[in-house]
Amino acid sequence: MILETLALFLTSQAQPTSLPYWPYNQKLDLQQTLIQKEDSIIIDKVNEVKVEKNAKKFERPAVPILNYHWIVLETHKSAFQRYFQTKEQLRNTIRSMKKKGYNFISVSELEKLIANYDSTEFDTTRYALLTFDDGLECFYKNAYPILLEENVKATLFITTVAIRDSISGPYLSWKQIKEMYKSGLIDVQSHTHNSHVITGNNKSLVTSMKKGEDSLTYCLRLFADFFKSKEIIENKLGNRVIAIAWPFGWGNDVARRMAFLAGYSLYFGVNGENYNFGKKYKDLPRIEVGETKGRD
């Protein structure tokens, strides 16, 4: 070994007639000192490997990410049907989850938790997300007052082509969105710019080519759509747009790649499962409200 060779060389040299003082009158054995030092280094490295291998891994509680669309009054003609939740249903869900110890966070906060996740850190905090798709005005009228009352965060995934400076049909206005964003409770992310269109069975403008498109044109169209949506939201609100929710929950590898190039880091589908820290996802799972799988 290198240290042994060095020690032998040094101890073979002429020794002084008198040794310097050492505590307790012990003589310095240079060879022994160097060998002990090397051995201690080896032992420390072995112990580090053992600690790393034996480090206990902790599973954080799974995160329910709930997916809403219309929030309506109990008297609404479509109340209690798919995609339609009443104000009381929303309020009851929030209060029930609060009693179970859930902390409501935004998509932007989830991104930070995912980036900083360490399986060796013990953390029993229960997180949950409320997400609302499309950017419907009923969110401002019926959901937002409840979120203010309960002091609960939520994330809007908006289809930017539908948002105007003034109220347009069933959609929010930028004035309403800005007001809610400034409250600190509402995060705003993308639901594409103009690709929220069904083109067939389990297909949308995101997951299929238009007639006459080739693969390159398809890629460029998706990139332009995703980039425009992100740019509009960030220019209007000044926030960071890092997430996109696929229309109807349908995404594919091409869309993910184009979204990544456009500056997104999180992609959301709808598959009825909780999000689990440390698990690899192509699209983060969400639970369409009305389903009960995995919410406890």
- Residue 5 — very low, low, confident or very high, per pLDDT cuts 50/70/90? very low
The confidence score (pLDDT) of residue 234 equals: 98
The confidence score (pLDDT) of residue 57 equals: 81
Side chain identity, residue 56: K
The confidence score (pLDDT) of residue 21 equals: 35
The confidence score (pLDDT) of residue 34 equals: 47
Q: How far is CA 164 from each of CA 168, 229, 235, rounded to the nearest angstrom?
A: 6, 13, 14
Tokens representing residue 262 in the block: 């456009």
Hey, what CATH class is 65-288 in?
alpha beta
What does pLDDT average to over the chain? 86
Whether pLDDT at 32 is above 70: no
Q: Is the pTM of this model over 0.85?
A: no
The 10 Å CB-count burial string (b at 16+, else e) for 221-237 is bbbebbbbbbebbeebb
Average pLDDT over residues 106-122: 94
Average pLDDT over residues 75-93: 93
Q: What is the pLDDT of residues 134-185, one digit of tens each?
A: 999 999 999 999 999 999 999 999 999 999 999 888 999 999 999 999 999 9
Whether pLDDT at 294 is above 60: no
Q: How far is CA 240 from each of CA 18, 214, 294, rounded to the nearest angstrom?
A: 73, 32, 30
The confidence score (pLDDT) of residue 245 equals: 98
The confidence score (pLDDT) of residue 155 equals: 98
Chain region(s) in the chain for CATH 3.20.20.370? 65-288
Q: Which residue has the higher pLDDT, 14 or 226?
A: 226
Tokens representing residue 20 in the block: 């310097």
Distance CA 269, CA 277 (A): 17
Whether pLDDT at 104 is above 50: yes
Whether pLDDT at 29 is above 80: no
